[in-house]
């Protein structure tokens, strides 16, 4: 029997060791990529892809955080070099990547301020370069579109499989929860019956003790003391604390896995689709009322856009707008595909880390 138990334990230990070695190898590869300036290219062999892979495999392993900021500092250095050479569009492309991946990178805000100052100061060349770079970033190549479509198809299949598995687990959890509920009800009835019997026994014992006391008192009056046996009452044993069952744990996990956003928006603000499509930096003036409302309500936001590229660009603009008003504020945002042509932003109640969700069966 002991040999049978040792084999799974050894297999688990080997798997855990292999996973740790893989993570250590990823960290070493990320360092090498940063030193070799393979920051986000070539495809399949760059630091950004390996950072993403590490986060997916070990979301609670924070050893990758310092390397992420080193990656961001490398791009900031490239951006500063491009600014010095008057290549503002190239520099903005570098900074946009850092804003999306590591927005707290040291020196990022200063480099962005240089580009903004050049554009504000009437430097038409800088404005044209930035707009051209952002328009180029928006339009992916045919190869990239084909790759994205392939990934989207695979994700759709995986999503369908996970959804079927989720429903199966949820149904199983409901059955287990129902069985556990019936068991608890039966246990409660049993305890109630035991308590009723205990109280009847205690009342009977009290009645007999009262009779003995009365008899002893009568004997003392007649100078015939009677020995009254002392009956010690046993203290009731405390009920053992109920342990959380596996069914309850499974149900809790299923509920969190199926959690959905259900908070009503505090306000909604339309955003010009033309300004987003043209990557118009004058959108900052239109976003200022939205930023003030976010700060006044300490709100989180949901960006409703027609694609992820627009969402990322709008997130950067909102972040810069908020930093100008309050550098200590950190934007809490999420994305939802807009069903209409015009994008918009909705404000929601403040939250700490993630959206407050509620599951409806």
Average pLDDT per consecutive 10 residues, the chain (361 residues; last block may be shorter): 45 54 90 94 93 92 93 95 93 93 92 91 64 54 76 86 92 93 93 93 91 86 56 55 67 54 80 87 88 90 87 90 88 79 85 52 41
Please give the pLDDT value at position 360: 45
Asked if 262 and 358 count as a contact pair (C-beta separation under 8 A), the reply is: yes
Structural domain includes residue 211? no
Six token digits for residue 275: 């300004």
Please give the pLDDT value at position 242: 62
Please give the pLDDT value at position 263: 74
Give the residue among 148, 88, 133 at the shortest CA–CA distance from 115: 88
What's the whole-model pTM score? 0.36
Please give the pLDDT value at position 99: 94
Structural domain includes residue 114? yes
Please give the pLDDT value at position 7: 42
Structural domain includes residue 229? no
Structural domain includes residue 73? yes
Structural domain includes residue 79? yes
Please give the pLDDT value at position 234: 55
Domain boundary among 138, 162, 191: 138
Please give the pLDDT value at position 329: 86
Asked if 284 and 119 count as a contact pair (C-beta separation under 8 A), the reply is: no
Domain boundary among 90, 106, 138: 138
Please give the pLDDT value at position 54: 94
Number of domains in the chain: 2
43: which residues sit within 8 A by CB, 6+ positions away? 49
Report the C-alpha gap between 71 and 136 in whole angstroms.
23
Asked if 77 and 112 count as a contact pair (C-beta separation under 8 A), the reply is: no
Give the residue among 55, 56, 57 at the shortest CA–CA distance from 20: 57
Q: What is the DSSP letter of 37?
A: T
Structural domain includes residue 241? no
Q: Which residue range is the domain that position 339 belongs to?
A: 267-348
Structural domain includes residue 318? yes
Question: Edge-to-edge strand order for the sheet containing 267-270?
Answer: 267-270, 344-348, 300-305, 333-337
Report the C-alpha gap between 304 and 311 in whole angstroms.
8
Rounded alpha-carbon distances, angstroms, from residue 152 to 48, 117, 147, 162: 20, 39, 9, 15
Domain boundary among 82, 115, 138: 138
Strands 300-305 and 344-348: antiparallel
Rounded alpha-carbon distances, angstroms, from residue 38 to 42, 71, 74, 304: 7, 10, 10, 33
Report the C-alpha gap between 178 and 247 in whole angstroms.
10
Please give the pLDDT value at position 14: 44
Structural domain includes residue 175? no
27: which residues sit within 8 A by CB, 6+ positions away? 54, 63, 64, 67
Rounded alpha-carbon distances, angstroms, from residue 245 to 179, 272, 308: 12, 53, 42
């Amino acid at each position: 029997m002991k040999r049978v138990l040792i084999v799974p334990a050894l297999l688990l230990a080997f798997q855990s060791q292999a996973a740790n070695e893989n993570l250590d190898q990823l960290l070493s590869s990320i360092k090498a990529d940063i030193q070799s300036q393979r920051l986000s290219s070539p495809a399949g062999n760059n630091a950004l892809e390996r950072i993403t892979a590490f986060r997916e495999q070990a979301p609670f392993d924070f050893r990758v955080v310092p390397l992420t900021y080193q990656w961001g500092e490398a791009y900031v250095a490239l951006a500063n070099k491009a600014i010095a050479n008057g290549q503002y569009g190239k520099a903005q492309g570098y900074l946009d990547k850092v804003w999306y991946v590591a927005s707290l990178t040291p020196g990022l805000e200063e480099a962005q301020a240089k580009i903004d100052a050049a554009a504000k100061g009437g430097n038409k060349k800088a404005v044209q370069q930035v707009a051209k770079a952002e328009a180029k970033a928006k339009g992916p190549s045919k190869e990239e579109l084909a790759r994205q479509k392939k990934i989207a198809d695979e994700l759709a299949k995986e999503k369908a499989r996970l959804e079927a598995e989720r429903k199966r687990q949820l149904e199983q959890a409901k059955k287990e929860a129902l069985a556990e509920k019936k068991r608890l009800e039966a246990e409660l009835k049993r305890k109630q019956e035991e308590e009723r019997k205990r109280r009847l026994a205690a009342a009977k014992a009290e009645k007999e003790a009262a009779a003995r006391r009365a008899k002893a008192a009568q004997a003392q009056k007649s100078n015939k003391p009677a020995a009254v046996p002392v009956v010690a009452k046993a203290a009731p044993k405390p009920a053992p604390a109920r342990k959380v069952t596996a069914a309850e744990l499974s149900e809790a996990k299923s509920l969190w896995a199926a959690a959905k956003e259900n908070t009503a928006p505090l306000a909604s603000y339309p955003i010009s689709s033309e300004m987003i499509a043209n990557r118009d930096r004058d959108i900052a003036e239109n976003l200022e009322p939205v930023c003030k409302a976010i700060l006044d309500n300490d709100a989180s936001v949901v960006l409703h856009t027609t694609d992820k590229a627009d969402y990322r660009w709008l997130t950067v603009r909102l972040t810069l707008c908020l930093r100008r008003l309050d550098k200590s504020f950190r934007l809490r945002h999420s994305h939802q595909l807009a069903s209409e042509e015009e994008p918009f932003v909705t404000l929601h109640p403040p939250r700490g880390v993630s959206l407050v969700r509620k599951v409806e069966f």
